[in-house]
Amino acid sequence: RVNRGDFLHALEEVHPAFGVSEEELQQVIQNGIIHFDSVVDEILRSGELFVEQVRTSTRTPLVSVLLHGPPGVGKTALGATIAQASEFPFIKLISPDSMVGFSESQKVAAITKVFADSYKSPLSVVVVDNIERLIDWTPMGARFSNAVLQALLVLFGRRPPKGRRLLIIATSSQRPILTDIGFSETFDSELRVPPISTLRALEFVLQEVELFQSADERRQVTRQLKEAGFDGSDGLTPKFQIGIKKLLSIIEMARQEPDDVAQRLIGALMGLGI
């Protein structure tokens, strides 16, 4: 007879396949995804298709996708969400945040180990977050860690062993430098993650996070922003651009001042010089 203890034990046994990074993965997606624009759904849908391709096609045991876009547009959260939704037995996030203080060779070893572990699972997703920070790229003199770069290039190009399949989801805010340093032919596909650039999308976010008590109050804010010249809804020349990460942090800041949420929000948005 199977009792509750056995059941929990079984769950525990399954768990290690996800590794420690499951926690990290959860952490980067804990705030969820707000569907403020159809492009958000398109990116998630594309991600789903790559997951399906890896799951079903025997011809493509290795698929790699790059999510790129300006800082704070949600690349990490989207990449992690796609990875999580795959429900593959091995899902891991390689993030510069987890390698603070690592030497070059420790980084190479850690990254190589994640890939080596992934080869043991029939289906895996590895999220390689923020390539430019992983390789310690600095604009000054365009310096970076060549050892980490070479390791990534090799691992991104290596087919998993027979019977194993791997999806690599990489992110970067520095698309142009990737080409300069040798990543041009590396990815099977690239998805651009855009910033928020319409008042409609902004209003959607405001509604979703329930910053205001009433719809009226919310619309008043968007009206004021429109008057201030913020509107880019014509889709031609966006007058303002803001990453969802920054917008959410501005919203939380405005929330701290219950008396004048609207003015604080507008002030902060205008203060961005957008």
Does 5 participate in binding ligand ATP (rule CB under 6 A)?
no
Instruction: Provide the 10 A C-beta neighbour count for residue 151.
Output: 22
Secondary structure of residue 173 in the 3-state scheme: coil
Asked whether position 197 contacts ligand ATP by CB under 6 A, the answer is: no
Per-residue x/- mask for ligand ATP, residues 138 to 177, rule CB under 6 A? -----------------------------------x----
The option from Mg ion, ligand ATP, none interacting with 32 (CB < 5 to 8 A, set by class) reads ligand ATP
State which residue, 34 or 169, has the beta carbon closest to ligand ATP.
34
* Contact predicate 134/99, CB 8 Å: yes
| CB closer to ligand ATP, 34 vs 221 | 34
**Token pair of 162 as six digits:** 């027979």
* Of the candidate residues 7, 9, 26, 31, the single one contacting ligand ATP (CB under 6 A): 31
Select from ligand ATP, Mg ion, none the partner in contact with residue 33, using the beta carbon and a kind-dependent cut-off of 5 to 8 Å: ligand ATP
> Residue 234 Cβ, how far from Mg ion at the closest point, in Å?
30
Strands 189-192 and 165-172, bridge-based pairing: unpaired
Q: Report the residue from 33, 85, 147, 228 that binds ligand ATP according to the rule CB under 6 A.
A: 33
Choose between 71 and 122: whose C-beta lies nearer to ligand ATP: 71
Q: Does 83 engage in binding with ligand ATP (CB under 6 A)?
A: no
Backbone angles phi, psi at 72, to 5 degrees: 75, 15
Among 76, 84, 145, 172, binds Mg ion (CB under 5 A): 76
| Contact call for residues 189 and 62 (beta carbons, < 8 A) | no
- Burial (0-12, 13-18, 19+ Cβ within 10 Å), 141: exposed
Shortest distance in whole angstroms from residue 233 CB to ligand ATP:
18
Cβ–Cβ contacts within 10 Å for residue 103, how many? 11
- In the list 71, 122, 161, 267, the residue contacting ligand ATP (rule: CB under 6 A) is 71
Q: Are 254 and 268 in contact (CB under 8 A)?
A: yes
Q: Exposure pattern of 220-250 as b/e (b: 16+ CB <10 Å)?
A: ebbebbeeeebbbeeeeebbbebbbbbbbeb
Instruction: Report the alpha-carbon distance of residue 16 to residue 22 in Å, rounded.
Output: 9
Is position 78 an interface residue for ligand ATP (rule: CB under 6 A)? yes
Decide if residue 34 touches ligand ATP (CB under 6 A).
yes
| Smallest separation (angstroms) from Mg ion to the CB of 93 | 11
Count of residues that interact with ligand ATP, criterion CB under 6 A: 19
What is the DSSP-derived secondary structure letter of residue 228?
T
> Which residues of the chain form contacts with Mg ion (CB under 5 A)?
76
> Which residues of the chain form contacts with ligand ATP (CB under 6 A)?
31-34, 36, 40, 71-78, 130, 173, 244-245, 248
